[in-house]
Amino acid sequence: MKAQETGKRTVQTLCRMCDDHCGVNVHLDNGGIVDIDGFAEHPWNKGRMCVKGRAAIDMIYAPDRILEPMKRTEQGWKKIDLAEALDEIAARLQAIMERDGARSVSIWKGEAIGFAQQESLARRFCHALGTPNYLSNDSECYVGRYIGYSLVLGGLPVPDYANSDCIVLWGANPPYAHPHMTRMIMEARHKGARLIVIDPRLSAIARKADYYLPVRPGTDGALALGIMKLLIEREQYDQEFVKEFSVGFEKLARYTKKFTAEFVAAETGIDRGTLEKVASIIARSRPRVANYVGNGLEHHENGVNNVRAVACLDGLLGSLDHRGGNLLPESAGLSELTLYDEVPLRHLGPIGADIYPVLYDFRQECHTMTAMDTIMSGEPYPLRAMIITGANPVMTNPNSRKVARALQQLDLLVVRDLFMTETAELAHYFLPAASFLERSELHVHALYQRINLTRKLLSFPQCQDEYQFWHDLAHRLGAGSYFPWEDETVLNRWLLEPTGISLETLQAHPEGYGYKPVRYGKWREVPLNTPSQKFEFASDYLKEKGYPELPEYRSPGYLAGSSAEYPYTLITGARKLLYYHSRNRNFPRFRKAIPGPEVEIHPSDAEALGVKSGETVLVTSEIGALEIPAAVVENSEIIPGFLQITHGWKEANVNLITPDLKNDPISGFPLLKAIPVRIERAGRP
């Protein structure tokens, strides 16, 4: 690394080794980072850090990090000068667009570019080219929840755990996935809040719960409707809110009648006693009930409707925007980088918008798995080029074999990453990206309505930040006017303009600067962002599109028709503390702690199969088979008949066996958490 300075200094910024964005002190010596610890004044983490955050040093200085652009040739990878690489990429894009039109080019941003600003830059580049084909990890993450909640109440709320009397976690495991959310939950518990955890696995957070409901995957909608039936029958709901601020209540109330305790138990596996107890606790705690939905609900064929059912609870309980309930944060009002309002792109036929119109309506984003089919079929039009930044879809998208096959057929694939990933190996050009400590951007902590400026602390000569990359490429393509700002600092000033907050103010407030005080009950003054401007228990918009207007429950496939060929059900993607999707496997100390992939299996199933921990088994789904060591878990850790495999391991990539065609019809989300499989011994290790 080129030392840019001498002496020691400490800078406060945000960690982005995960999406929690904790405040951190970064200690530098002679321009190199020597230590990172928690920043005590940041309200989110209050000085604490997790082990992944400290490993930012392992990532930035990893021996296998690639710091120079590379071009794939017949003889293998060759180093190439950055300007030359950008010239060649621009020329090839130009040629592809001249032949097949701008929409033959697509952009894919991944989870590592999870700052809103970086996503917006990638989207803006689509506008610069005139292609509607923006793809992202979000079409298998978060958007299912976003759509579900937005349909009901006009946005995705954030739980006000700290002031809650009852916290209900639906398919989420904060100790591993959002460590500092756990702190708030535990503080609330300390003050007397009840914690209810709904999860087919006895997860780390489930172990701390007052009530743990081992629900069958994909059946949360039935549980939520069963709870609502009891609340409505007992008139334990917010009648004023329902009368004044909602639509569709009568229809929902009629629909819930089907969700008797017997029906709910048959679907979910949760007995009458537990259902009634949990409904009573929730009723007693209203409106200070914080329902939080994690990834567990959206990776199902009926994901959005299950999320909608849970979202309806916020209206019934009066907890929407109530202290201790679920808050709808106000926006920071930054300048808008995306241009969809000025120049709509829908008429250009975004990939997948015909099959999943709701996904496009709500997110202006294409459907990644349909894009794979489009690349291979050329239908409805050719998709020839792709730029991927901050994603590793060959590991993280369902049916990985298809993803790899499709990406290999592109005329041009450019990957921006820090490492030579399974996806980057297929690229024509590898461009080294600047990590989060090598760029400066704005981040909003919605819960506190505070804005932070992250600090650029070091740089490597050929590793461009996201802004510089899009800027330089757009300028080469004659679309420089879309990226007029000289660098990311000038861009940050422009973004801040409408807020009246200066960059200097943010620099002086590393703990974040409040842009608006948090207000409760805003819906009394400001209409909700739904078509009726009210809380929608039933949705005319969905009905018009041919979907159920109510959050209708459908039995998951494995329950509706259990199969002799695939008698087990596979859950995937439960987070491990140390690993982040396909990331962090190259940190030796992490490898030592969690050395490899495993399939988690209940002891009674293991016994029936004659399988012991550590033994290799074969897990087979409709689309493929995977050899993987077994981990026999404790008795109550998973429901018998269910298995769990975490994604991101190239040694046993579970997405080789996850299907890409069994999707939620509303969001297009893949079925990743209830896949029919069989499991058998594959011989001794």
Ligand X SMILES: Nc1nc2c(c(=O)[nH]1)N[C@H]1C(S)=C(S)[C@@H](COP(=O)(O)OP(=O)(O)OC[C@H]3O[C@@H](n4cnc5c(=O)[nH]c(N)nc54)[C@H](O)[C@@H]3O)O[C@H]1N2
Choose, by CB under 6 A, the member of 201, 428, 534, 662 that binds ligand X.
Answer: 201
Site string for ligand SF4, 150-189 (x = CB under 6 A): -----------------------------xx---------
Distance, CA of 183 to CA of 174 (rounded, Å): 9
Asked if 18 interacts with ligand SF4 (CB under 6 A), we say yes
- Find where tokens 């981990």 sit: 631
**574 makes contact with ligand X (CB under 6 A):** yes
The nearest distance, CB 650 to ligand X, in angstroms, is 11
Cβ partners under 8 Å of residue 489, min gap 6: 440, 503
- What does 180 bind: Mo ion, ligand X, ligand SF4, none (CB cut-off 5 to 8 Å by kind)? ligand SF4
CA distance 355 to 352: 5
Taking the C-alpha atoms of residue 281 and residue 269, their distance in angstroms, rounded to an integer, is 20
Report the distance separating Cα 531 and Cα 533, nearest Å. Answer: 5
Quickly list H helices, 247-341: 249-256, 261-268, 272-285, 295-298, 303-316
C-beta of 25 vs 396, nearer to Mo ion:
396
Cis-peptide, bond into residue 287, ω within 30° of zero: yes
Return the C-alpha torsion angle 352, 358, 363, 368, nearest 10.
Answer: -30
Take residue 515 and report the two structure tokens written for it: 């842009």
Which residue in the set 26, 28, 33, 49 belongs to the binding site for ligand SF4 (CB under 6 A)? 49
User: Which of ligand SF4, Mo ion, ligand X, none does residue 402 bind (CB under 5 to 8 Å by kind)?
Assistant: none
**Binding partner of residue 548 among ligand SF4, ligand X, Mo ion, none, CB cut-off 5 to 8 Å per kind:** none
For Mo ion, give the closer residue by CB, 127 or 647.
647
- Taking the C-alpha atoms of residue 387 and residue 399, their distance in angstroms, rounded to an integer, is 20
CA dist., res. 304 & res. 148, Å (int): 5
Helix (H, G, I), strand (E, B) or coil at 617: strand
According to the 3-state scheme, what is the secondary structure of 201-222?
ECCCCHHHCCEEECCCCCCHHH
How big is the site for ligand SF4, counted in residues (CB under 6 A)?
A: 13
CB of 49 to ligand SF4, least distance (A): 4
Q: How far is the CB of 460 from ligand SF4 (least distance, A)?
A: 21
Other C-beta atoms closer than 10 Å to the C-beta of 209 total: 21
The only residue of 53, 69, 110, 132 in contact with ligand X, by rule CB under 6 A: 110
Q: How far is the CB of 119 from ligand SF4 (least distance, A)?
A: 18
Give the bridge partners for 631, in sequence order. 600
Sign of CA dihedral 585, 590, 594, 595: positive
Please report, for residues 220, 265, 362, 571, 669, the alpha-carbon distance to residue 296 in angstroms, rounded to integers and kept in the order given. 10, 19, 21, 9, 12
Question: DSSP 3-state assignment of 165?
Answer: coil
The answer to whether 106 and 383 are in contact (CB under 8 A) is yes
Binding mask 125-144 for ligand X (x = CB under 6 A): ------------x--xxx--
Query: What is the smallest separation between the CB atom of 418 and ligand X, expressed in angstroms?
Result: 5
The answer to whether 132 and 103 have CB atoms below 8 angstroms apart is: yes
Shorter beta-carbon distance to ligand SF4: residue 17 or 85: 17
Of the pair 39, 360, the CB lying nearest ligand SF4 is at: 39
Residues in the chain: 685
Residue whose CB is less far from Mo ion, 141 or 657: 141
Asked if 200 is part of the footprint of ligand X (rule: CB under 6 A), the reply reads: yes
Q: Contact region for ligand SF4 (CB under 6 A) — 46-54, 137-145, 261-269, 661-669?
A: 46-54
CA end-to-end distance (rounded Å), the chain: 42
**CB 15, min distance to ligand X, A:** 12
Q: Is 53 in the site for ligand SF4 (CB under 6 A)?
A: yes
Instruction: Report the Cα 448 to chain-centroid distance in Å.
Output: 21
Q: What is the DSSP secondary structure assignment for residue 582, as one 8-state letter? A: T
Distance CA 276, CA 188 (A): 23
Site residues for ligand SF4, 621-650, by CB under 6 A, read none
> How many CA atoms are closer than 13 Å to the CA of 310, on its beta-carbon side?
34
Site size for ligand X (CB under 6 A) = 65
571 interacts with, out of Mo ion, ligand X, ligand SF4, none, CB within 5 to 8 A per kind: ligand X
Q: Does 141 bind Mo ion (CB under 5 A)?
A: yes
Q: Residue 575 and residue 177: Cα distance in Å, rounded? A: 6
Closest to ligand SF4 by CB, 24 vs 281, is 24
Q: Output 20 or 140, the one with its CB closest to ligand SF4.
A: 20
Beta pairing partners, 289: 166
Tally Cβ neighbours within 10 Å of residue 312.
29
Kindly state the smallest distance separating residue 674's Cβ from Mo ion, in Å.
18
* 179 contact, one of Mo ion, ligand X, ligand SF4, none, CB 5-8 Å limit per kind: ligand SF4
Which residue of this chain has its Cβ atom nearest to ligand X in the complex? 573
**Which residue of 364, 389, 399, 464 would you call a contact of ligand X, by CB under 6 A?**
389
119 makes contact with ligand X (CB under 6 A): no
Contact segment (CB under 6 A) with ligand SF4 among 13-21, 163-171, 335-343, 672-680 equals: 13-21
For residues 526 and 256, give the distance between their C-alpha atoms in angstroms, rounded to a whole number.
29
| SS3 category, 84 | helix
Distance CA 56, CA 252 (A): 48
Region 443-462 residues binding ligand X, contact defined as CB under 6 A:
none
Closest residue by Cα to residue 357 from 218, 153, 547: 547
Residue 499 or 655: the one with the smaller Cβ distance to ligand X is 655
Tokens read off for 668: 């297009």
Give the residue at shortest CB distance from Mo ion: 141
Min dist CB 396 to Mo ion, Å, is 9
CA dist., res. 228 & res. 233, Å (int): 8
Is 402 a binding residue for ligand SF4 by CB under 6 A? The answer is: no
| Whole-angstrom distance, CA of residue 188 vs CA of residue 482 | 47
- Under the binding rule (CB under 6 A), the answer on residue 396 touching ligand X is yes
Only one of the segments 269-277, 444-452, 567-575, 619-627 lies at the binding site for ligand X (rule: CB under 6 A); that segment is 567-575
Options 274, 464, 492, 572; binder of ligand X; rule CB under 6 A: 572
Enumerate residues 277-296 that contact ligand X by CB under 6 A. Answer: 294-296
Which of residues 123 and 581 has its CB atom nearest to Mo ion in the complex?
581
Choice between 172 and 224, CB closer to Mo ion: 172
The site for Mo ion (CB under 5 A) is made up of: 141
The site for ligand X (CB under 6 A) is made up of: 18-19, 110-113, 137, 140-142, 170-174, 176-178, 198-201, 203, 215, 217-218, 220, 294-297, 299-300, 389-393, 395-396, 416-419, 421, 433, 435-436, 571-575, 577, 579-583, 647, 654-655, 658, 672-673
The site for ligand SF4 (CB under 6 A) is made up of: 15, 17-18, 20-22, 45, 49-50, 52-53, 179-180
